[in-house]
Structure 1
Amino acid sequence: MTMASDKLTHSDRVLNTVQQGNAAATSSLAASWCRSALHHGLDPAASRKQERLGAATLAGLRESNGELIAAAAPVLDQLFGNVGRTGCCVILSDIDGVVLEARSTAGDSPLFDAIGLVPGGRWGESAEGTNGIGTCLVEQRPITILRGEHFASRNIGVSCMDAPVFDPEGRLVAALDVSSARAEHGEAMASLVAALVQDAARQIERDFFCMRYAGARIVYSPDRPDSQRRGRGVALLAVDRDDLVVGATRAARLNFGLGNRPFERPRPLADVIGDGSSSFDDSERAILRQALARSGGNVTQAARELGIGRATMYRRMERVGMSPGQ
């Protein structure tokens, strides 16, 4: 079967699915195909438009996402170091699916350039139909789109593994993507890469949060058992020297019902976590004990290391049942 007939068969399959009255209810993939055709008016058989942002527009977009890129760049490099030699590229897009950062080997770059997986490439679902980047952003969850699962026939040579990235206020800001155009990369390979992508996305969120709240104390709250499976990430709280919560990751907001808006006023840490959070107390106790151990039991020095006042240190110790002698 020729490539042209492959694409024709794929286009027919997509349109047949869309034309079924209940197609959107059968699977998330079918729902995305329906969005692509019915809402965005796309044709799966259309040739590639090669829509890319101009250099000046892309530069402005990168500047406006500078904090995100600064947090993500080391993680992108690390992820590319793990998957680049297998023929994969690593992509970071903005919330609209525009590629901000791309990593690929010199040998694979011409292929990904032809596909459009380069800075300035537009991969929102409204532009390319069902694809890893665009559909991940629409559904706000980790997603894998294998070759024939793409909406557009022009994209069936690629498999994409994606995870959403949320900013320090818990808002969706980006998609992290690893794409492969190698035929030997099947479902098993995609599953392994998808796990790496999700871990990398959560690392970007952690680093982004810590950069944003560099002047605050970062407190870890153990996640609920199902939080990682649902893609919530790590629950972190940013606390000032008076034990007031000034920031929270998406996972922490979900865990503690904090909503998705910036804090208009700081809230006491004890009010946020509740008095019955024994798992949090265990984590807090460990942090205090480590600081005291490093200071040789000197409470004043331990408080200084944690960036809090001596009186606040004593209050925190009392709350978790520690005495100065411990």
Structure 2
Amino acid sequence: MVGKAHNHNDLVLSTVQSPQAAATSAVAASWCRSALHHGLDPAAASRNDRMDDRAVSRLREANGELLAAATPSLDRLFGSVGGAGCCVIISDVSGIVLETRALDADKEMFDAIGLAPGASWSESDEGTNGIGTCLVEARPVTIFRGDHFASRNVGVSCMDAPIFDPEGRLVAALDVSTARSDHGEAMATMIATLVQDAARSIERDFFCRRFADARIVYAGGNQPSAGAALLAVDRDDLVIGASRAARRQFRLGADSHFAPRPLADVMGTDGNNGFNDGERAILRQALARSGGNVAAAARLLGIGRATMYRRMERAGMGGMN
């Protein structure tokens, strides 16, 4: 074991010292970040201390909405991989473990490895690893045993996928880790697919919980790495929320919040153009198209400003200016 660790240290350091290393593979690039940017030593035997229970409790509370949305998917994923000796983990965006799922017989082993609530698996603390590298690169990653930067971690393989919140911001990493030597690349590939599917399910449930009072429109997508394109639409047919995939598909921008806009405009379809059906929706859509300017909205509808105000009043929109 000592010889293997020594060989791994030499491999990491020789790769880091190569001028072309970072261009050869994503793992080599991560090794270079770990050594050159974070100043880590692959031979170091220690890892950072874990948060105490009180700090972990506060962190879990701060991520309560995420964890509530994630719990069903975490349980399903663990039901699929737990019997094979795998641990299921969700971390926050900084790489700190929030929750784990493991069989009672495996918990002590995973705890000794550091796969436990309150432990940090950021790249800056642990070097190349599933959770930290996934968060840095914001994409699914698989880190086999020897892909880890630190020799102390080469007994574990990790399959990870990022989780994005309803505004498209990176908020967590979903991880399945295994220390079983009989789990090869074929098993890792299968587990990686399950992890990506679970991460997208968490995002979908997170989005639906955030916009529980809205109508959810499925607009296509659902690639393993991108997720479904979901739009949250209010009763006036204004889009008030969009998933990360929907923001990309409809070019809605990366800002966490955006002004409501008509569903017809977002999806490029014809909307209503009269007052016979859904007058309130028409008024709000006109206001959305004009950036909230009442006079401009009235011109879009071909009516006078006074008439616009009267119709707004009748539709229960009298408090808007």
TM-score, normalised with respect to structure 1: 0.82
Which of 265, 269, 276 does residue 275 from structure 1 map onto?
269
Q: Shift of the alpha carbon at 1:275?
A: 2.9
Q: Shift of the alpha carbon at 1:74?
A: 1.0
Q: Is residue 165–residue 172 contact of structure 1 (8 Å, CA) maintained in 2?
A: yes
Distance 2:94 2:163 in 1: 13
Distance 1:259 1:7 in 2: 46
Counterpart in 1 of 2:38?
Answer: 40
Counterpart in 2 of 1:284?
Answer: none
Q: Shift of the alpha carbon at 1:51?
A: 2.0
Do structure 1's residue 228 and structure 2's residue 223 form an aligned pair?
Answer: yes
Distance 1:7 1:312 in 2: 70
Q: Shift of the alpha carbon at 1:50?
A: 4.7
1:25-70 CA-partner distances (Å, limit 9, x unpaired): 1111100000000000000000032521111211111111000000
**Aligned to 1:222, what secondary structure does the other structure show?**
strand
Distance 2:152 2:25 in 1: 22
Name the amino acid aligned to 2:265. Answer: D
Counterpart in 2 of 1:52?
Answer: 50
- Which has the larger displacement, 256-265 or 57-66? 256-265
- Which segments of structure 1 move beyond 3 Å, counting only runs of 4 or more? 310-313
Which of 21, 32, 37 does residue 19 from structure 2 map onto?
21
Distance 2:137 2:7 in 1: 27
Q: Shift of the alpha carbon at 1:270?
A: 0.9
Distance 2:247 2:38 in 1: 33
Percent of matched pairs sharing the same residue: 65
Matches for 1:65-214 after TM superposition, within 5 Å: 65-214=63-212
How many residue pairs are counted as aligned between the two chains? 277
Do structure 1's residue 4 and structure 2's residue 41 form an aligned pair?
Answer: no
Q: Is residue 23–residue 31 contact of structure 1 (8 Å, CA) maintained in 2?
A: yes
Name the amino acid aligned to 2:50. Answer: R
Q: Is residue 50–residue 116 contact of structure 1 (8 Å, CA) maintained in 2?
A: no
Counterpart in 2 of 1:311?
Answer: 277
Q: Is residue 133–residue 177 contact of structure 1 (8 Å, CA) maintained in 2?
A: yes
Q: Is residue 247–residue 262 contact of structure 1 (8 Å, CA) maintained in 2?
A: no
Distance 2:116 2:213 in 1: 35
**Aligned to 1:236, what secondary structure does the other structure show?**
strand
**Aligned to 1:11, what secondary structure does the other structure show?**
helix
**Which structure 1 residue ranges, 5 or more long, are not aligned?**
282-309, 317-326
Distance 2:209 2:4 in 1: 48
Do structure 1's residue 245 and structure 2's residue 234 form an aligned pair?
Answer: no
Q: Is residue 47–residue 125 contact of structure 2 (8 Å, CA) maintained in 1?
A: no
TM-score, normalised with respect to structure 2: 0.84
**Aligned to 1:246, what secondary structure does the other structure show?**
strand
Distance 2:103 2:48 in 1: 21
Distance 1:10 1:115 in 2: 18
**Which structure 2 residue ranges, 5 or more long, are not aligned?**
283-321
